[in-house]
Amino acid sequence: MNIVIDQGNTICKIAVFGEKDEPVEVYTTTSLTKAFLVGILDHYNPVAGIMSSVIEVSHEIKVLLNERLSYFNYLSAATPLPINNSYETPETLGVDRIAAAVGAWSICPGKPLLIIDMGTAITYDIVSADGTYLGGNIAPGLALRLKALHKFTGRLPEVMASEDFESFGKDTESAIRAGVMQGIVYEAEGYIRDNAERYPGLFAFLTGGDLIYFAEKLKNGIFVSRNLVLNGLNRILNYNASK
């Protein structure tokens, strides 16, 4: 079995993959602790593991994984990938973004891909039909947009996200919610439309913690994958562990 860890800005997801390269179990925590990780390792006894993180990881977590696993890879710009990477500064590319790209490519090889990851930031990444990561864009995520309207204005309230939002608000609260959330829908639809013209046969993926708010709103043939980064990490792990 493999253990795969995706440490984001606010959430950490841990998956255990079996022989069929499908997650047997997925755990989510806001704080990755040694005790929490030991519990998973003791229960499943994985042989190999990989970790990606966009924040600093404690030394004791890295030591634990290196001690308990026969093979462990801490994903970095130096890690060999099953796709090409043409990013000009690979050392600054978020490891979660390249893992999502690998995950999308493993599901749909041979097609141009757009990966939309809705997390703390919203990222838009492109992979060419020949399996080359071409680059992408970074935009503020849902929570950041809602908080910014409150923080940088004198009287606008901080509004909570909701799966139900109208195209236009009827009061200040619903106007903020609709403005931010419908704006994200239009933004994503624009990326899909424009890149479908640029890359014929484009296949679009939606992933990330905030996809629950937008999956039903984006009707443009988008493939929803909650575990795209985890699947990509497992693919990278298998690619390197087999060498």
What domains appear along the chain, each with residue ranges and CATH number?
A: 2-140+184-241 (3.30.420.40)
pLDDT-derived band of residue 10, with 50, 70 and 90 as boundaries?
A: confident
pLDDT-derived band of residue 43, with 50, 70 and 90 as boundaries?
A: very high
DSSP symbol at 215: T
Does 96 qualify as catalytic in the annotation? yes
Identify the active-site residue in 21, 42, 96, 210.
96
CB-based burial label for 35 (10 Å; 0-12, 13-18, 19+): exposed
Q: Are 159 and 176 in contact (CB under 8 A)?
A: yes
DSSP symbol at 111: S
User: Looking at the predicted structure, is the pLDDT value of residue 12 above 90?
Assistant: yes
Q: In sequence order, which ranges of the chain are alpha helices (DSSP H)?
A: 34-44, 59-68, 95-107, 142-151, 172-198, 228-241
pLDDT value for 22: 85
pLDDT value for 221: 76
Kind of pairing between the strands at 203-207 and 223-224: parallel
Considering Cα of 135, then 184, then 191, then 194, what sign does the dihedral take? negative
pLDDT-derived band of residue 211, with 50, 70 and 90 as boundaries?
A: very high
pLDDT value for 218: 87
Encoding tokens for residue 91? 């050392």
Q: pLDDT exceeding 70 applies to what percent of the chain?
A: 100
pLDDT-derived band of residue 21, with 50, 70 and 90 as boundaries?
A: confident
Measured distance CA(220)–CA(143) in Å, rounded: 24
pLDDT value for 19: 81
pLDDT digits (tens, 9 = 90+) for 157-194: 999 999 989 889 999 999 999 999 999 999 999 999 99
